[in-house]
Structure 1
């Protein structure tokens, strides 16, 4: 099991001390849509795209560790992550992706090893910002790691849920409540630094089956813990949506479009990979997952 957990790039320390979490068809469809619009109507849109200045911020669910070509291997940043796909579709005047595996909200305003604070990429003329953050503040890798270990020993029941609710309170719910003001503060600081920017807060996609099912042979979660983890992820996304609504951002739902593409599905159908994946970081979106996220972001931008 130790070897399986070492598949998590966000758990294994990296060169920058990252000890936590850490569109072909889309492009064709977008091209066909634009081609069908009369030239007189397309011109303002092209002018808007030419003026777009896009900055992407986030953790490993944004950066795309081990996918495609790693343009920054220390941060696990890929050239096929969803910000890159969004940028290719929008063709903005400028595009800066500073997402980094292992990032949490403190790395928005403070350095992450050798990487400067992510918010330093913002400017007064930035017009579009995507932000995917919070999983490391929740300590999602450690939560999943504990549940996997307990599930390997006790495949039935809900030992992991029990371990987080021993004292009559739900420790994970308390953590989610504690992350909310941190995300709020990041959103407020983005607006302060880039007052013209549209800010999109991107949620986390499906990890486990929506129907509460399990695939113990793929990831060793107990039968009762799988639906509990599903519910906690949904609760976390709901918190992000509230933060966005209260702090001048738009929430981008990547969970709903990814239902039916959880890690229990076979290769070619799943959009999140198992812990022992050979193609991407374990328990992270694969290329199809990033294409789905890019489509959701583009829909939110009107692109």
Structure 2
């Protein structure tokens, strides 16, 4: 393909990824736009003693220094930090922003363009450690998952400022999407064990994006108080689903919610960004400090 055509193709793929943020209106679009870094597509293959799998929370998307093309991997994500602490002789990072559970076993595409190969292709009999964070993107109709849900709640807030219009809109839909994703994640974990029978497999949960005391988010998140509480309940259900799938798939669950409580997007010392990140990361994603906290949780689970 001519160089100019390749550049146009990659530009369309990157534009499509960020266009999905428009679901919730101009606020999220403005928050996301600064971090739409154009890059080449990447596909994972081969084998490593430690393989990192997952979505943008595992990739550290938006945190410098970024690599991995449209997958927006950072060398400050928790996988890299764990690998450095373990002095892993062979580390392979195939995480990718916007990955859903099916990206573990299928090629991930963006606007019809391949972005990342099936992540489980990186797992082999030589693999000794696998970490994976995935499931949050299955909440949304776009590739942004939990952020997509926040966008919808933001758009609906003016329709019932003192109620929970987003909760009323979704009803049981998000719980149903999680229920549908759970068996696919369980099966993927079993496949990992089949491919790497001597590997420890850790399913790393999601950090505290929203606090338990959701009143602290007043004026910091453009959602109603009722919907902020609803979103926290969705986050809890997401981690519960991931934990259950880990158990069913013979993996260990790593809690990152507890270690990051008090450092949510609404806190005075956030490790997870708000809609307008104060440090380099994507909106409602962990920054470098948050990724460090997630790495520390993994290392504790490993006994380090």
User: Normalising TM by the smaller chain, what interval?
Assistant: 0.7 to 0.9
2:207 alignment counterpart: 205
SS at match of 1:276: coil
2:70 alignment counterpart: 74
2:12 alignment counterpart: none
2:152 alignment counterpart: 146
Distance (whole Å) between structure 2 residues aligned to residue 238 and residue 106 of structure 1? 19
Q: More deviation in 271-280 or 201-210?
A: 271-280
Following TM superposition, by how much is the alpha carbon of 1:295 offset from its aligned partner in structure 2, in angstroms? 0.3
Change (3 A) 1:4 1:164: same
Following TM superposition, by how much is the alpha carbon of 1:76 offset from its aligned partner in structure 2, in angstroms? 0.9
Following TM superposition, by how much is the alpha carbon of 1:214 offset from its aligned partner in structure 2, in angstroms? 4.3
1:272 alignment counterpart: 272
CA contact (8 A) 1:164 1:171 kept: yes
- The TM-score, its normalising length taken from structure 2, stands at 0.81
Distance (whole Å) between structure 2 residues aligned to residue 4 and residue 12 of structure 1? 15
Map 1:156-195; keep pairs closer than 5 Å: 156-165=162-171, 170-195=172-197
Following TM superposition, by how much is the alpha carbon of 1:144 offset from its aligned partner in structure 2, in angstroms? 1.5
Distance (whole Å) between structure 2 residues aligned to residue 141 and residue 95 of structure 1? 29
Distance (whole Å) between structure 1 residues aligned to residue 230 and residue 102 of structure 2? 28
Distance (whole Å) between structure 2 residues aligned to residue 107 and residue 281 of structure 1? 20
Q: More deviation in 193-202 or 213-222?
A: 213-222
Describe the superposition over 1:42-68 as per-residue Cα deviations: whole angstroms up to 9, x where unpaired: xxxxxxxxxx91000000011011212
Q: Which runs of 5 or more residues in structure 2 are unaligned?
A: 1-23, 42-47, 109-113, 141-145
SS at match of 1:261: coil
Following TM superposition, by how much is the alpha carbon of 1:154 offset from its aligned partner in structure 2, in angstroms? 3.8
Q: More deviation in 207-216 or 100-109?
A: 207-216
Q: More deviation in 275-284 or 76-85?
A: 275-284
1:235 alignment counterpart: 237
Distance (whole Å) between structure 2 residues aligned to residue 211 and residue 62 of structure 1? 26
Distance (whole Å) between structure 2 residues aligned to residue 296 and residue 250 of structure 1? 12
CA contact (8 A) 2:159 2:165 kept: no
Distance (whole Å) between structure 2 residues aligned to residue 68 and residue 154 of structure 1? 39
CA contact (8 A) 1:55 1:96 kept: yes
Following TM superposition, by how much is the alpha carbon of 1:2 offset from its aligned partner in structure 2, in angstroms? 3.1
Distance (whole Å) between structure 1 residues aligned to residue 54 and residue 150 of structure 2? 20
Change (3 A) 1:186 1:171: same
Map 1:112-127; keep pairs closer than 5 Å: 112=108, 113-127=114-128
CA contact (8 A) 2:275 2:283 kept: yes
Distance (whole Å) between structure 1 residues aligned to residue 162 and residue 235 of structure 2? 21
1:128 alignment counterpart: 129
Change (3 A) 1:14 1:153: farther
Distance (whole Å) between structure 2 residues aligned to residue 297 and residue 162 of structure 1? 36
Q: More deviation in 127-136 or 155-164?
A: 155-164
Distance (whole Å) between structure 2 residues aligned to residue 63 and residue 213 of structure 1? 30
- The TM-score, its normalising length taken from structure 1, stands at 0.81
**Whose Rg is larger?**
1
1:291 alignment counterpart: 292
Describe the superposition over 1:5-56 as per-residue Cα deviations: whole angstroms up to 9, x where unpaired: 22348x9897789xxxxxxxxxxxxxxxxxxxxxxxxxxxxxxxxxx91000
Distance (whole Å) between structure 2 residues aligned to residue 16 and residue 152 of structure 1? 39
2:79 to 70, 83, 86: 83
Distance (whole Å) between structure 1 residues aligned to residue 37 and residue 174 of structure 2? 24
SS at match of 1:74: helix
Distance (whole Å) between structure 1 residues aligned to residue 196 and residue 244 of structure 2? 21
Change (3 A) 1:14 1:102: farther
Size of the alignment, in residue pairs?
Answer: 262
CA contact (8 A) 1:152 1:220 kept: no
Following TM superposition, by how much is the alpha carbon of 1:152 offset from its aligned partner in structure 2, in angstroms? 4.8
